[in-house]
A and B are shown apart, each in its own frame.
Chain A
């Protein structure tokens, strides 16, 4: 079995093999390191690979398992960490020139510490868009087509999972940064309920919106990784070959159906048909607050990010990329009262979402994750019949409203377009009910068969691995 085939077995099977002594964490980690070396020249998912640290952690994981100490589903599993999270002994550079000389972090971010307590082997740190603000994640490239971007801002983490380097990776989501690259790379991303996972040790982008979440190959692995972060999912999670009888899923249309590419529209329509065939009741559930929800998150994130980086903007503006510097300068046009009103509007928008769920007795809201598949790195635009759209605007358009509401949201693969690029289905659930949300996703995933699926060989060397 090749390295990538082993690494794509999923946490349940890997855990079984580790505990049965059929494979070791050391062997798994060496496979992940070989896989990284094979794909990195093309995909560039990592900013640093912690080779010796990972080997030492894997040896320790094997010793513990041999001694009967079992830390759970991540025990002995190689994981990757977005480079806005502190990893002890390693600088947190956040993809920015402004932090190229950052001192090594003294301690792990809380999310990283929790994964380590769960036995995870930290393989390295992954590429993020500058300060987690954007969807391009250069220089990472998309495993399904290296001419295209992976999405972002947790782009390197999604690439690492999609390329079969590690089963799970850590990301953060302020406007869609877990779900967007997950959709663009054909993997699963879970944005938990706002506030569920501590953000300490995660460099802030917009503290009122920042949410820590996992990226994984399957919904089940995402839930395992989420629980290892300390997340509780409430009732409702069962795995198996169940159906969705009794589940009600709303389709909002409107904002979520405008400027959506035909391939995405078709895949989403097929996904809704599959959900219905599994017994779910599908109802039209228009959400008139979607545009305001996008606007609220837009304003809040701009203002808070400008505040976080105020000193750098003043003292070292040239250390910040041109686009980001322009955005944050524009944020200074937002008055204090406008910001307060945006925060206040957020409450109203959240309550509107609660009323929508209550009125239709919904368990989830289904939309496409992105209006398009991965954009070309050369153009950074999304083509529509009525003209091109900037990829940043396009990719955040459908995900960001759910950062305003704060409810949990899941992106999982639901098909491919005519370029063989993956398309994401987005399911938003009730606050603190990640388990129920993942049960819907897992049931769909098993029936639809779109995940896990893996990209074609990435490089000549990849054929042999």
Chain B
């Protein structure tokens, strides 16, 4: 990962992301989504979603 544009490294020293144009929009989209999810309220000890998502509602109380 290069620090100048935050983009990933292809292994050849060049970022796979163009810091302008469409890639900039894609990058912004990712960062916006991360920021939005940081605001989702979750009870502190509940990490049950990581053991395989279960769509059932009967455990939700």
A residues with a Cβ closer than 8 A to B are 193-195, 208, 289, 291-292, 295-296, 298-299, 302, 313-314, 317, 323, 325-327, 329-334, 338, 340-351, 353-355, 357, 405-407, 430-432
**A343 near B49: Cβ-Cβ < 8 Å:** yes
- State the Cβ distance, B45 to closest chain A Cβ, in Å: 11
Specify which of B11, B34, B48 is in contact with A299 (CB 8 Å cutoff): B34
In angstroms, Cα B30 to Cα A174, docked, is 18
Given known A-B contacts A330-B26, A345-B37, A406 and B55 have beta carbons under 8 A apart: yes
Q: Is the CB of A333 within 8 A of B36?
A: no
A193 vs B56: C-alpha distance when bound (angstroms): 9
Residues of chain A lying within 8 A (CB to CB) of residue B49: 343-348, 350
Give the size of the chain B interface in residues (CB under 8 angstroms).
Answer: 37
* A343-B16 contact, Cβ under 8 Å, with A292-B36, A298-B29: no
Q: Decide: A346 and B17 in contact? CB cutoff 8 A.
A: no
- Known pairs A292-B39, A323-B22, A326-B17; A340 contacts B50 (CB<8 A): yes
**6 closest cross-chain pairs (CB), A and B:** A347-B49, A406-B55, A332-B8, A330-B26, A295-B33, A329-B16
Q: How far is the CB of A363 from chain B (nearest CB, A)?
A: 13
Q: Which residues of B contact A338 (CB under 8 A)?
A: 34, 37
**13 examples of A-B residue contacts, CB within 8 angstroms:** A208-B53, A292-B36, A296-B40, A299-B30, A330-B30, A332-B8, A338-B37, A344-B46, A348-B49, A350-B57, A357-B57, A431-B55, A431-B56
B29 touches A330 (CB 8 A): yes
Is A347's CB under 8 angstroms from B33's CB? no
Q: Is the CB of B42 within 8 A of A348?
A: yes
Q: Which residues of A contact B1 (CB under 8 A)?
A: 332
Known: A291-B36, A330-B30. A344 touches B42 (CB 8 A): yes
Contact across chains for A296 and B6 when beta carbons are under 8 A apart: no
Find A351's partner among B26, B37, B60 (CB 8 Å cutoff). Answer: B60
Query: Which of A295, A314, A326, A406 makes the CB contact (< 8 A) with B11?
Result: A314
Query: In the complex, what residues of A have CB within 8 A of residue B56's CB?
Result: 431-432
Q: With A and B bound together, what is the CA distance between A313 and B8 in angstroms?
A: 12
Please report the C-alpha to C-alpha distance between residue A296 and residue B34 in the assembled complex, in whole angstroms: 8
Q: Given A298-B29, A326-B17 in contact, is the A344-B8 Cβ separation under 8 Å?
A: no
Contact call A333/B8, Cβ cutoff below 8 A: yes
- B binding-site residues for A, Cβ under 8 Å: 1, 6-8, 10-11, 16-18, 22-23, 26-27, 29-34, 36-42, 46-50, 53-57, 60
Query: A268 to B36, alpha carbons, bound, how many Å?
Result: 28
Q: Among B11, B27, B50, which residue has its beta carbon within 8 angstroms of that of A330?
A: B27
Known: A329-B17, A348-B42. A343 touches B53 (CB 8 A): yes
**Which residue, B11, B16, B57, has most C-beta atoms of chain A within 10 A?**
B57
Given contacts A344-B47, A349-B40, contact A302 B30 (CB under 8 A): yes
Complex: chain A residue closest to B56, CB-CB: A431
Known A326-B26, A344-B42: A292·B37 in contact at CB below 8 Å: yes
B26 touches A327 (CB 8 A): yes
Minimal Cβ-Cβ distance residue in A for B8: A332
Q: Could you say which residues of chain B place their CB within 8 Å of the CB of A313?
A: 16
- For A346, what are the chain B residues with a Cβ–Cβ distance below 8 Å? 49, 53
Contact A330 B37, beta carbon cutoff 8 Å: no
Residues of B within 8 A of A302 (CB): 30
Known A295-B33, A296-B40, A313-B16; further 14 A-B contacts with Cβ < 8 A: A193-B55, A194-B53, A208-B53, A296-B33, A296-B37, A330-B17, A332-B16, A341-B38, A342-B37, A345-B49, A347-B42, A350-B57, A431-B55, A432-B55
Chain A residues, CB < 8 A from B36:
291-292, 295
Interfacial chain A residues near B11, Cβ < 8 Å: 314
Chain A residue, CB-CB nearest to B48 = A347
Residues of A within 8 A of B60 (CB): 350-351, 354-355
Which residue of B has the minimal Cβ distance to A390? B25
Name the distance in Å between A204's Cβ and chain B's nearest Cβ. Answer: 15
A329 to B11, CA, bound (A): 13
A345 pairs with B42, CB closer than 8 A: yes
B26–A405 CB distance below 8 A: no
With contact pairs A299-B30, A302-B30, A334-B34 given, residues A348 and B53 touching in the complex (Cβ less than 8 Å): no
